[in-house]
Amino acid sequence: MFKDKFSEGIISAKQFDREDIEYILKKGKEMIQIKNSNLLQGKILATLFFEPSTRTRLSFESAMYRLGGSVIGFHSEDVSSIKKGESIADTIRTVENYSDCIAMRHSLEGAARMASKFAKIPIINAGSGSGEHPTQALLDLLTITEEIGELDGLNIGIMGDLKYGRTVHSLSILLSNFDVNIYFVSPEILRMRNRDKDFLQQQQVKYKEITKYRKILNILDVLYITRIQKERFVDIEEYEKLKDFYIFREDDLENTKDNFRLLHPLPRVTEISPNVDISKKAIYFKQTYYGIPMRKAILSELMTE
Ligand code: NCD
């Protein structure tokens, strides 16, 4: 059962098989109908965000309140005892006494996994460095299934910073459970990392790596664009060279199918021109909405008996 399998929390998209994904998508879909409830009354979620966030933290908090629960936490490195030199392990062993579940974002790739080793309550990885962001990928799949349809058979482009972008790592891992064709579109030096590609190859995922997106626009059902992850670059000059590598513009939409949809986990910088926003094919703000039902589904699975 989902609850038993995920009793330590959600650390990586690799924990999910197709059945788990279908189960949580079904629960997410049900949550669209239930705006407010008291399912998690008396429960407390702790949100520990050591890195900036708008959507992830606020949608976790909103989801918790909408289920009748409460939220404690911090969202800056500067305000917790980590600033005084306390370890993540000690922070977790403290916060677990104050809450029933912890959603954590940290710049270190292994932070959430390490936290889960120390915690007696479920840990949710709300973004771990350039590593993973599994709950974003789950809400991305809920967006696709609600707005487009079945995942099997789709042609999906994933474009931008595929090296440092954690959302694209988790998304491609989840998609590896479905019969999809993936086009990874990036500058040469921001390709998917070998460890991610090794996993996809093991799973026999059909994917291609390309640099130019215009020639595949007419076959895509979904294009998932991400921002170049400035904060991960060691050499800021390299970032400056790449930051405007892709700018998706209004006229790009002309070459797309009627049912083509454009997704982005946000924040957007310059990679999608604001003129595109009014198109019905641009669904990245709807995508932010799906964070609520998906996170309600996740929280209720992790915190109810
Ligand atoms: C992403 C993240 O934090 O990884 N944002 C999000 O959670 N919606 C994407 C990004 O920062 O580019």
pLDDT tens, residue by residue, 232-272 = 999 999 999 999 999 999 999 999 999 999 999 999 999 99
Residues 88 and 151 occupy one common structural domain? no
Check if the beta carbon of residue 157 is closer than 8 Å to that of residue 264.
no
The atom of ligand 1 lying closest to the CA of 133 is 4
Task: List pocket residues of ligand 1, CB cut-off 6 Å.
Answer: 55-56, 127, 133, 136, 166-167, 226-227, 265-267
Burial class (CB in 10 A: 0-12, 13-18, 19+), 262: buried
Residues 53 and 194 occupy one common structural domain? no
The atom of ligand 1 lying closest to the CA of 166 is 4
The pLDDT of residue 77: 75
d(C-alpha 262, C-alpha 259), whole Å: 10
Residues 88 and 162 occupy one common structural domain? no
pTM of the model: 0.97
d(C-alpha 289, C-alpha 285), whole Å: 7
Looking at the DSSP assignment, which residues form a beta bridge with residue 210? 185
Residues 116 and 188 occupy one common structural domain? no
Ranges of residues in the chain whose predicted pLDDT is under 70: 79
The domain total for the chain is 2
The pLDDT of residue 81: 76
**Which range of residues forms the domain containing residue 260?**
134-288
Quote the ligand 1 centre to 268 CA distance (angstroms). 9
Phi, psi of 151 (to 5 degrees): -75, -40
Residues 76 and 117 occupy one common structural domain? yes
Residues 28 and 172 occupy one common structural domain? no
d(C-alpha 127, C-alpha 107), whole Å: 8
Structure tokens at 288: 């932010």
The pLDDT of residue 83: 75
Of 142, 111, 136, the closest CA to residue 55 belongs to: 136
The per-residue pLDDT for range 162-200, each reduced to its tens digit, is 999 999 999 999 999 999 999 999 999 999 999 999 999
